[in-house]
Amino acid sequence: MTRRTAADAIDAVWWIESARLIAGLARIVGDVGMAEDLAQDALVAALEQWPESGVPDNPGAWLMATAKHRAIDQLRRQKMQGRKHEHLGRELDERQVSPEPELAAAIDDHVGDDLLSLIFTACHPVLTTEARVALTLRLLGGLTTDEIARAFLAPKATIQQRIVRAKRTLAAARVPFEVPRGAELAQRLESVLEVVYLIFNEGYSATAGDEWVRPALCEDALRLGRILAELAPAEAEVHGLVALMEIQASRIRARVGPGGEPILLLAQDRGRWDHLLIGRGLAALARAEALGGAYGPYTLQAAIAACHARAHTADETDWTRIVALYDALAQLTPSPVVELNRAVALGMAFGPAAGLEVVDALTSDPALAGYHLLPSVRGDLLAKLGRFDEARAELARAAALTQNSRERELLLKKLGAL
């Protein structure tokens, strides 16, 4: 531990080990809230002992053994039903006699399933979306309540309460700690993917607010996605989501200019894209495609993102393919926002008139009333058709509607150039 404090090492070990620790404990005690408390107790023990004794060779196994001792103590005290108690005692005894490496292996045997169960539990539909997000970041992302609060620009007490309530809800609803099977799996997986993508977008679309913390949310979501891809490799949509996030994340440093102003996709300096992430994204997309079957919504969006990623210049973009992918996406998950994106692609592939036809059909959609991107897109298409007066009016409307001052500047700049 020379040149490195024990506290730093414990922090790092906790971040690496906490999810599987909580997952392993939850399998044994059957309650995520109790499992987290036990894991925290073990962490406190580590904080007390490791600075003196040094970090043990297998810190994960040490934490697990310590937490299990406490679990037994607690269960005895609570006189919980005999069966569970006995089971836990037996499991611990077996591991007590086994030498260290076997102990570690015994934990590793279950770890994949345990982690997956933990993800599915944290994203259980019985919880509100906010609660799912907070619990997932806390239990699987290894974030502290403070970090979650900062990331979501919410008071710490709010997040704390949200997590406590979520754990109570799970216990009250007797949500089993398991990976759902059969028909339920697909539906529950959807909720998991939604939570991960929501975390990603919270970081990705934030050009306002605390710039420093929010990109970290993209990283958290990416890691969660990658974990899922390792744990559920047969699920095409998991790879689709990972591909989508990797490719989107590859553009992060290119999508904001030196003054903090947003730079739109087609105007970005592609040399500043992160090609390491693009490579990973394309590989994840290939994995999704290799699994066969119809493309799901995440895979479709990833395939669209990949069209941009593969184009060395904006002019090389395969807009015809993008239109086809948006057609498929609009069929699978019809929404006015998808339709608007499809209109942009149509305009690029087949000329502004083709795009405008679709956009015009959207102007009466109440879901898009007040959505600044509608007049923004319409203004662009009108300008390309040489209908400058109408274009100016649309861009002015878009500028008035947007909540983001940077985006407003960009729109007004466009307007001024017409």
Partner 1 sequence: MKFMTIVKTRETGAHPSPALIEKIGKLGEEAAKKGVMVGMGGLAPTAQGARARLTNGKITVTDGPFTEAKEVIGGYAIYDVPSKKEAIEWTRKFLEAHIGLWPQDLEVEVRQMMDDPSNGC
| Cβ-contact 111, 20 below 8 angstroms | yes
Residue 409 binds partner 1 (CB under 8 A): no
DSSP code, position 314? G
Residue 12 binds partner 1 (CB under 8 A): yes
Residue 115 binds partner 1 (CB under 8 A): yes
Binding track over 191-210 against partner 1, x by CB under 8 A: ------------x-------
C-alpha 300/C-alpha 284 separation (Å) is 13
With tokens 């993917």, the residue in question is 193
Residue 215 binds partner 1 (CB under 8 A): yes
| Cβ-contact 288, 302 below 8 angstroms | yes
Give the nearer residue to partner 1 in terms of CB position, either 9 or 47. 9
343-375 burial, b at 16+ Cβ within 10 Å, e below that, comes to: bbbbbbbeebebbbebbeebeeeeebeebbbbb
With tokens 């404990």, the residue in question is 25
- Closest approach, Cβ 139 to partner 1, in A, equals 14
Nearest alpha-carbon partner for 27 in 115, 96, 124, 126? 115
- Closest approach, Cβ 312 to partner 1, in A, equals 21
Residue 232 binds partner 1 (CB under 8 A): no
Residue 230 binds partner 1 (CB under 8 A): yes
- Closest approach, Cβ 192 to partner 1, in A, equals 14
Give the nearer residue to partner 1 in terms of CB position, either 95 or 226. 226
Give the nearer residue to partner 1 in terms of CB position, either 22 or 346. 22
Q: Which stretch binds partner 1 (CB under 8 A): 10-18, 66-74, 339-347, 377-385?
A: 10-18
Nearest alpha-carbon partner for 69 in 394, 77, 132? 77
Distances (CA, A) of 77 to 71, 112, 257: 10, 31, 60
The distance of Cα 302 from the centroid of its chain, to the nearest Å, equals 14
Binding track over 121-160 against partner 1, x by CB under 8 A: ---------------------x------------------
Q: E-assigned strands of 177-269?
A: none
Q: Which stretch binds partner 1 (CB under 8 A): 12-20, 160-168, 316-324, 338-346?
A: 12-20
Residue 30 binds partner 1 (CB under 8 A): no
Please compute, for residue 16, the number of CA atoms within 13 A of its CA located in the half-sphere on the CB side. 11
Question: Residues in the site for partner 1, rule: CB under 8 A?
Answer: 4, 8-9, 11-13, 15-16, 19, 57, 111-112, 115, 142, 203, 211, 215-216, 218-219, 222-227, 230-231, 249, 252-253, 255-256, 258, 260, 276, 280
